[in-house]
A and B are shown apart, each in its own frame.
Chain A
Amino acid sequence: MTDSAIVLAEGESHFPPGIHSFDFADWFSGLSETALAHMFTTITMVVWATVAILIVFFLWAYRKPQIVPTKKQWMAESAYGFIRNTVAIDLMGKKDGVRFAPYLATLFLFIVLMNFWAIVPGIQISPNAHIAFPAMLAVLSWIMYVWVGIKQHGLAKWLKITVVPPGAPAFIYPLLIPIEILQNIILRPVTLALRLFANMFAGHLILLVFILGGFEMLNSSNIFIQGLSVFSFAMGIAMTLFELIVILLQAYVFTLLTGMYIQGSLAEEH
């Protein structure tokens, strides 16, 4: 049994929240000791729900596209057109922009909806608060910009473009090249994953602090502390709104950076 499962089973207080708050029990306890552990949890269920919602919505909304769009078609087009125009085409120009817009738009929609579960009542956990999902997406972004760069320029030329800063004197290369390798090839996916993960992790923790804290105060024997719990709940609501901004912003940042890395691989100079 997991710690959180024990906590739930015994009905003890969840407060204060900690890293144990991010453990979700397997739905089928028999799987816990097998390779199928973690495959059927609230987290994975939410991931599947995200994918299902997006697929169903887009297939439904774009069943019969028309020149003059219906409302649902307009919504679907806006979601795609936002990333297509403000990220893909702005960064890469019309031709390459349209080429990469579908992936970037899918990425953005996936992250937004995954993040959004953080403030959906009854769920209030984003899968992106588990580093596995941001890491998976960052690895895909890494593969994509490395692959695009090699395909565009060939391995040697792409490496030169990526790790040799133009205009620097040759004697400083021994210093600069390791830094560039670290920065452009190793740290890019790491920072992509960590930025998204940490934001969603912290967001979840903050919501837990205020909401669970509110309940903790309400359970207090002191009437004064019970009254103060109102402020804790109010902060919980305020933080939920704040979280909404973080949700959109982090999804946009992840998509934008992926787009910039791909653009860097396509360009002649970096």
Chain B
Amino acid sequence: MIHAAEGGAGILFPIWQEMLIGAIAFGLLCFVLIKFVFPRMEQTFEARVDAIEGGIERAERAQEEANQTLEEYRRKLATAQEEAAAIRDEARADAVAAKEEILVSAREEANRIIAAGHAQVEASRQQLVRELRSEVGNLAVDLAGKIIGQRLAGDADTTATVDQFLTQIADETAETSGAR
């Protein structure tokens, strides 16, 4: 037919009816695939990329969070250890201070007691000396009066002599008490 009628070159001339059919058929195919199928594929590709990237991102976020928590715990632990050490040191210092204080107060108390004892002893001695002085004086005067007579009683010179005599005694007593 066409080919035969136009010789061998006829095969190079397209049959317009076939071109028309081809164009309609291909147009229909393009319409359906380009409108309904391939855009959805692109959407799926994007969703897939999102899903994968989102998963990685989520994992990274979780990892970071875990690291942060770990870091925080470590920090807290370190702080707690430091605090414990500080408390321990403080307690130790407190104990030492308390010990010192007790010792100091005890020493003071002891000194005070000793001092009080000394003072009391001294006071007793002074009292004794005073009592003795007057008594010994009286005794001596009485004695002397008895020995040398009534006249001598109340004479001033005699009193001075007695005092001198007593001072001498006191000095001797002091010497003996110092040697004691």
13 further interface pairs, Cβ-Cβ under 8 Å (given A67-B51, A135-B19, A137-B26):
A19-B3, A22-B11, A47-B21, A54-B33, A55-B33, A58-B33, A62-B40, A67-B47, A81-B45, A102-B39, A132-B22, A136-B19, A194-B12
User: Which of B4, B14, B37, B47 has a CB less than 8 Å from the CB of A132?
Assistant: B14
Cβ of B73 < 8 Å from any Cβ of A? no
List residues of chain A with CB under 8 Å of any chain B CB. 2-3, 19-20, 22-23, 35-39, 43-44, 47-48, 50-51, 54-55, 58-59, 62, 65-67, 69, 76-77, 80-81, 98, 101-103, 105-106, 109-110, 127, 130-133, 135-137, 140, 194, 201
Interface string of B22-55 (1 = CB under 8 A from A): 1101101110111011111111110110010000
Set of chain A residues within 8 Å of B12, measured between Cβ atoms: 131, 194
Set of chain A residues within 8 Å of B37, measured between Cβ atoms: 58-59, 62, 76, 80
Cβ-closest chain A residue relative to B30? A106
Set of chain B residues within 8 Å of A62, measured between Cβ atoms: 37, 40-41
* B8 and A19 contacting across the interface, CB-CB below 8 Å: yes
Cβ of B15 < 8 Å from any Cβ of A? yes
Interface string of B61-86 (1 = CB under 8 A from A): 00000000000000000000000000
| A-B Cβ contacts below 8 A, count | 123
Set of chain A residues within 8 Å of B150, measured between Cβ atoms: none
* A105 and B25 contacting across the interface, CB-CB below 8 Å: no
User: Which of B1, B17, B32 has a CB less than 8 Å from the CB of A36?
Assistant: B17
List residues of chain B with CB under 8 Å of any chain A CB. 1-4, 8, 10-23, 25-26, 28-30, 32-34, 36-45, 47-48, 51
Report how far A65 CA is from B38 CA in the complex, Å. Answer: 11
* A77 and B25 contacting across the interface, CB-CB below 8 Å: no
* B1 and A101 contacting across the interface, CB-CB below 8 Å: no
Report how far A113 CA is from B175 CA in the complex, Å. Answer: 146
Report how far A89 CA is from B3 CA in the complex, Å. Answer: 42
Can you list 25 A-B pairs, Cβ within 8 angstroms, ordered by A? Answer: A23-B4, A39-B17, A39-B20, A51-B29, A55-B32, A58-B32, A58-B33, A65-B40, A65-B44, A67-B48, A67-B51, A69-B44, A77-B45, A80-B38, A98-B42, A103-B34, A105-B38, A109-B33, A127-B18, A130-B14, A131-B11, A132-B14, A132-B16, A133-B18, A137-B26
Report how far A43 CA is from B17 CA in the complex, Å. Answer: 11
Set of chain A residues within 8 Å of B45, measured between Cβ atoms: 77, 81
Q: Which of B2, B16, B33 has the most CB of A within 10 A?
A: B33
* A59 with B21, Cβ < 8 A, contacts A54-B29, A136-B26 known: no
Report how far A38 CA is from B12 CA in the complex, Å. Answer: 16
* A2 and B1 contacting across the interface, CB-CB below 8 Å: yes
Report how far A223 CA is from B15 CA in the complex, Å. Answer: 44
